[in-house]
A and B are shown apart, each in its own frame.
Chain A
Amino acid sequence: AQSVTQLGSHVSVSEGALVLLRCNYSSSVPPYLFWYVQYPNQGLQLLLKYTTGATLVKGINGFEAEFKKSETSFHLTKPSAHMSDAAEYFCAVSDGDNRLAFGKGNQVVVIP
C-alpha cells in the first residue's frame, strides 16, 4: 500500500522567505501525487497534482512542486511566503486505485 511521510508537524517561515515543505512517498506503481491546503475550519483545497508528464508542477497561489522519482519525493515550494499562506498542508499519494493516502500534515506559521 502507498504511504506518505511529511516531517515536521509545525513549520515557521518569515514573511517573504522561501516556503519548503517536504514530502516523501512509497508506492509500488507510478504514483499520482497531490498537495492540499486546509485553512482553519475549512475543507481541503487542491493546490496542485502530478499525474504524468512534466515533473515540475505549478499550482495555485504561487506554489509549485517537483516530482523526483529517484528520490521518491514531491516537495512543495513557494519563493516568497505571504501571511495568507498560514494553513495546514497535506501531501497525498494514490496508485490509481480508490485509495488516497495522506501524510500527517504540516502546520505553516508565517512570521511577520
Chain B
Amino acid sequence: NAGVTQTPKFQVLKTGQSMTLQCAQDMNHNSMYWYRQDPGMGLRLIYYSASEGTTDKGEVPNGYNVSRLNKREFSLRLESAAPSQTSVYFCASRAPLVGGGYTFGSGTRLTVV
C-alpha cells in the first residue's frame, strides 16, 4: 500500500508564482495535515482537516490555502510564492483511534527564488 503520497517531490518557483501541492492517502483516515519543516524549527502545522469538508488553521497558515477535495485528497496552495516559503512540506494523515499515529508522506522540497 502507498500510505500517504505527495506530489511533486521537488519544485522551484519564482517569487509571485502560484502552485498546488497534492496529497493523497489510501488508509481511509479522516484527519489530514500539512506541515512545513525548516532547519532548527522542527515541523510546524500549516493547516489541517479533521474530516471531509472541514479545514482549520494551524500555527503558520499565512500565505497558504487548502482544499479537502474528498476523504483521500488534501491539497495545499501557494497563491503568490515568497522566498520565506522555501521549505520542505509534509502531508500526514492520522488513524481514527484515540492517540492514533500519524503517517507522513515523503515530502515536497520547495525552493522559491
Contacts and interface: CB of A to CB of B under 8 A. Distances in A.
Interface of A: 6, 9, 32, 34, 36, 42-46, 49, 51-52, 90, 94, 96, 98-105
B48 A46 contact: no
A52 B43 CA distance: 25
A96 B101 contact: no
- 8 A-B pairs with the lowest CB-CB distances in the bound complex, closest first: A51-B99, A32-B99, A102-B42, A104-B42, A43-B104, A44-B104, A102-B43, A43-B106
Interface residues of B, number: 26
Nearest to B35: A102
Contact of B101 (A43, A49, A98, A104): A49
Given A100-B33, A104-B40, A43 B107 contact: yes
B58 interface: yes
A34 B100 CA distance: 10
Contacts of A102: 35, 42-44
Given A98-B56, A99-B58, A104-B42, A46 B98 contact: no
